[in-house]
Amino acid sequence: MRDFYPEIEPYASGHLPTTDGQQIYWETSGNPDGKPAVFVHGGPGGGTAPDQRRFFDPHRYRIVLFDQRGCGRSRPHIADGADLSVNTTGALIADMEALREHLDIDTWQVFGGSWGSTLGLAYAQSHPDRVSELVLRGIFLLRRSEIDWYYNGGAAHIYPDIWESYLAPIPAAERDGDLVAAYHRLLTSAEPEVAAAAARAWTGWEQATSYLIPKPEEAAAAKEDSGPRFDIAFASIENHYFVNHGFLDDGQLLRDIDRIADIPGVIVQGRYDVVCPMRSAWDLHRAWPSAQLHIVDDAGHASFEPGIRSRLIEATDAFADDVR
């Protein structure tokens, strides 16, 4: 069972300006002359954290982390009134390309889980010549069936107790309809306390259901560490993407899989992932059979679960010395 690499600090960081007024936070750590790898965080709206550097051997990798538009240390932040209309999948792909060019990287390994797997696939299908490998976890293809499963009641059959907290902000008369749309109305409310309560419930639902074995102390710490600012970004940006179908055609990432057929890939999936059920990882593997699929039988969704963490580090280790 592989453990994290030691904690490290960035050797460089900054904000990359875009043509539409955004400033994308980025950082690099590890070996400046190492193999480039970019970590694509989840959410959308989740932002990056120091432990995400630790999936890579710092002696062999040049590790790039960045915060997507509107969250983390990117500016302007959603909690400060950032314009969500410029926050789209296409814009995020363009940001990644601008960052790659800014850092003078020819090709890089794309590593992402959950929404990070969505954006990682979308980026790779747009720029296949710039991707050396894909390491993906907790596959989310952003199909309507996946949204309905997790946000419109499917997962309630497994977590009925926690589901009640997710339903709590929604007026009773709206609970039999499209809950993503109901949350959109709450999160865009002119009353700050209404939006904040909805953001906490939406974010708390995901925090409470990501581990196979509940970790109350970690859930409590995550709730305390995140705070209203994180909750607003996480919930508002996620919901914005979901009401807009991820700015993708339904099934697009499987439809265009031939664009990445020659890119080496590893898929790591917890068998009991409730947030992003294994059906999507299986569908991706069937469409992209050259990618290795590792099913972790004692894991849920979180990348920090021991079996998932170990498989991800095994993948980055295996690719560390490959040149493409």
Q: What confidence tier does 223 reach under pLDDT thresholds 50, 70, 90?
A: low
DSSP structure class, residue 264? -
Which of 217, 244, 271 terminates a domain? The answer is 244
Alpha-carbon distance of 250 to 197, in angstroms, equals 30
Q: Which residues of 45-64 are buried (b: 16+ CB within 10 A; e: fewer)?
A: bbbbeeebbbbbbbebbbbb
Answer yes or no: do 34 and 103 share one domain: yes
Residue of higher predicted confidence among 105 and 220: 105
- Position 211 in a domain: yes
Q: What is the dihedral of CA 179, 185, 187, 193, to 10 degrees?
A: -110
Answer yes or no: do 86 and 53 share one domain: yes
Sheet with 23-30, edge to edge strand ranges: 12-17, 23-30, 61-66, 35-40, 108-114, 131-139, 265-270, 292-296
Tokens in use for 299? 């894991």
Answer yes or no: do 29 and 92 share one domain: yes
Alpha-carbon distance of 20 to 27, in angstroms, equals 21
- Position 1 in a domain: no
Secondary structure of residue 62 in the 3-state scheme: strand
Answer yes or no: do 179 and 274 share one domain: no
pLDDT at 17: 98
Which of 244, 272, 299 terminates a domain? The answer is 244
In this structure, are residues 277 and 252 in contact, taking their beta carbons and an 8 Å threshold?
Answer: no
In this structure, are residues 141 and 283 in contact, taking their beta carbons and an 8 Å threshold?
Answer: yes
Q: Quick one: angle between helices 160-167 and 192-209, nearest 10? A: 160
For residue 129, give its domain range: 10-142+245-318
| Mean pLDDT (whole number) for 232-253 | 98
Which of 244, 260, 294 terminates a domain? The answer is 244
Alpha-carbon distance of 54 to 29, in angstroms, equals 10
pLDDT at 98: 98
Q: What is the CATH number of the domain that holds 109?
A: 3.40.50.1820
pLDDT at 313: 98
Answer yes or no: do 56 and 127 share one domain: yes
pLDDT at 224: 57
Tell me, yes or no, if 240 is annotated catalytic. Answer: no
| Percent of the chain residues topping a pLDDT of 70 | 96
- Position 2 in a domain: no
Answer yes or no: do 16 and 115 share one domain: yes
- Position 68 in a domain: yes
Question: Mean pLDDT for the chain?
Answer: 96
pLDDT at 56: 98
- Position 71 in a domain: yes
Q: What confidence tier does 214 reach under pLDDT thresholds 50, 70, 90?
A: confident
Answer yes or no: do 159 and 109 share one domain: no
Q: What confidence tier does 323 reach under pLDDT thresholds 50, 70, 90?
A: confident
pLDDT at 222: 56
Tell me, yes or no, if 114 is annotated catalytic. Answer: yes
Answer yes or no: do 255 and 187 share one domain: no
Strands 265-270 and 292-296: parallel
Q: Which amino acid is at 17?
A: P
**Residue 225 pLDDT more than 90?**
no
φ, ψ (nearest 5 deg) of residue 12? -155, 150
Tell me, yes or no, if 273 is annotated catalytic. Answer: yes
Answer yes or no: do 170 and 157 share one domain: yes
Q: What confidence tier does 257 reach under pLDDT thresholds 50, 70, 90?
A: very high
Secondary structure of residue 211 in the 3-state scheme: coil
Answer yes or no: do 25 and 74 share one domain: yes
pLDDT at 219: 57
Answer yes or no: do 314 and 208 share one domain: no
Catalytic one among 29, 226, 273, 303? 273
- Position 5 in a domain: no
> Tens digits of per-residue pLDDT, 48-106?
999 999 999 999 999 999 999 999 999 999 999 999 999 999 999 999 999 999 999 99
- Position 260 in a domain: yes
Catalytic one among 41, 184, 240, 301? 301
- For the chain, the domain total comes to 2
- Position 270 in a domain: yes
Global pTM value = 0.97
> Tens digits of per-residue pLDDT, 166-198?
999 999 999 999 999 999 999 999 999 999 999
| Mean pLDDT (whole number) for 232-244 | 98
**C-alpha distance from residue 192 to each of 187, 195, 202, 228 (Å):** 9, 5, 15, 11
Alpha-carbon distance of 8 to 101, in angstroms, equals 24
Q: What confidence tier does 221 reach under pLDDT thresholds 50, 70, 90?
A: low
Catalytic one among 114, 117, 236, 310? 114
> Tens digits of per-residue pLDDT, 104-155?
999 999 999 999 999 999 999 999 999 999 999 999 999 999 999 999 999 9
Answer yes or no: do 121 and 260 share one domain: yes
